[in-house]
Amino acid sequence: MRTAPTILHLDMDAFFASVEQASKPSLRGKAVVVGGLGPRGVVATASYEARVFGVHSAMPMAQARRLAPNAAYLVPRFGLYRTISEQVMGLLRELSPLVEPLSLDEAFVDLEAGGTAFDEASARAAGEKLRGDIRAVTGLTGSVGLAASKMLAKIASEQAKPDGLVLIDPGTERAMLGPMSVRILPGVGPATGDHLRRAGIHTVEEIVEAGEDELVRLLGKAHGHGLYAMAMAYDERPVVAERETKSVSVEDTYDVDIHDRTRVGLEVQRLADRCVRRLRGAGLSGRTIVLKVRRYDFSTLTRSETLRGPTDDPAVVREAAARLLEAVDTTGGVRLLGVGVSGLADYTQEDLFAQAAEGVELGEEDAGEVVEDGGEVAVERVWVAGHDVRHEEFGHGWVQGSGLGRVTVRFETPESEVGRVRTFRVDDVALGVAEPLPLVAVECGASGLRPDPGSAPHHP
């Protein structure tokens, strides 16, 4: 372990929602939820104003709407998020050559490798400068954790949220971790957490008290040894410079084998959505969909399907995973399921007409619906909530909503005052899709993202 807190973890605050607030003056200080808006949509990010109502990432969008019916619900604009992420990552690389991105809005930095910091004072100065540079360049805020290991730096950044900096002094780690929930440790998800809870282990200190042998008995050799080391605040994982990712995948192991075929199908759909969220978070797409099934007898089957081109469309990945599942015999039960995407690229190349012909549901971010009219195939424009448009007379704006042949647009830009709302026919030739405008640095960071701790919760 290091003797100085020279590993930095940056986590941008409510990144997607923060970008939307910075882009749209009318949403600053308001509850904003970004994610899929369809019946199976999930929350990608919720602004802090929305979190007051209990909305959080990975929540079904239908539940979020019940909790915060007056929030603004927007479809992600990943192109803009990637652009801003590149600006932030560029600032990190000015601190050190060892930058390990985890997603578009999160990364580790080895300050010691860059000669940027060697003790507590220099590390804190580097963290504060980074926060100021991010605010100056993007107008957004990020939370910074500093510690002697990656695990502790990430825990520190969580404690710093929103828009703060927390430094964990080497030597104080055990005392800090002791009363925390076991879920704070890397690798402790719902299943492992339940195992530990049933054994009467709820806090990190109780893991230490149980001892390494007991952890191995409960969780197996590799997981037990690793978790005990983490509980002892021992983490020697290095910051690994950015390298090519070959695949993105997620999987779940079930405490009780799943026998119901319908349940298996629903789990595969859920995993496909999680995989796409991780794929998009890394700014990637892929052309090969992989399904992994471990059966009741521990035999493991892997099936894959290669598409015409790279995709990051959740509907396409769900449908491919479902087709792969049809070829797998799950009689006797399933103990593990996984969905992955390989053949990665940093772009998408969908063939919408071919997908429609094959019966694949088009994603919410597609530019149009495929319709037949008198035997001819045409594309009907679909106006996506939150996306950018431009009107020949009124200029730049964004879609607030559409339906019944009408589209409602608020005309404003990142630098304007709150804009006026106008409604048009969906086929108005004066209205067209536009590219996002660049953000501008604004006071209050993150476009007024952080609520005043002393004020009452905002109710939109």
What φ, ψ does residue 136 adopt, rounded to 5°? -70, -35
Q: Which of 100, 106, 364, 412 is catalytic?
A: 106
Task: For residue 311, list its beta bridge partners.
Answer: 286
Task: Please confirm whether the linkage preceding 69 is cis (ω < 30° from 0).
Answer: no
Q: For 278-320, where are the E strands, in sequence order? A: 285-295, 300-311
Go through 236-274 and write b for each residue having 16 or more CB atoms within 10 A of its CB, e for each that does not. Answer: eeebeeeeeeeebbbebebeeebeeeeebeebbbbbbbb
Inter-CA distances, 194 with 115, 399, 409, Å = 43, 43, 47
Catalytic annotation present for 106 = yes
Do the beta carbons of residue 4 and residue 119 sit within 8 Å?
yes
**Contacts by 96-103 with C-beta closer than 8 Å and gap 24+?**
97/241, 98/239, 98/240, 98/241, 99/239, 99/241, 99/242, 100/239, 100/240, 100/241, 100/242, 101/242, 101/282, 103/278, 103/281, 103/282
Do the beta carbons of residue 283 and residue 250 sit within 8 Å?
no
**What angle do the packed helices 261-281 and 314-326 form, to 10 degrees?**
140
Do the beta carbons of residue 73 and residue 20 sit within 8 Å?
no
Per-position DSSP letters for 212-259, written without gaps between them: HHHHHHHH-HHHHHHHHHHHTT---PPP-------EEEEEEEEEEEE-
Residues marked active site are found at: 106
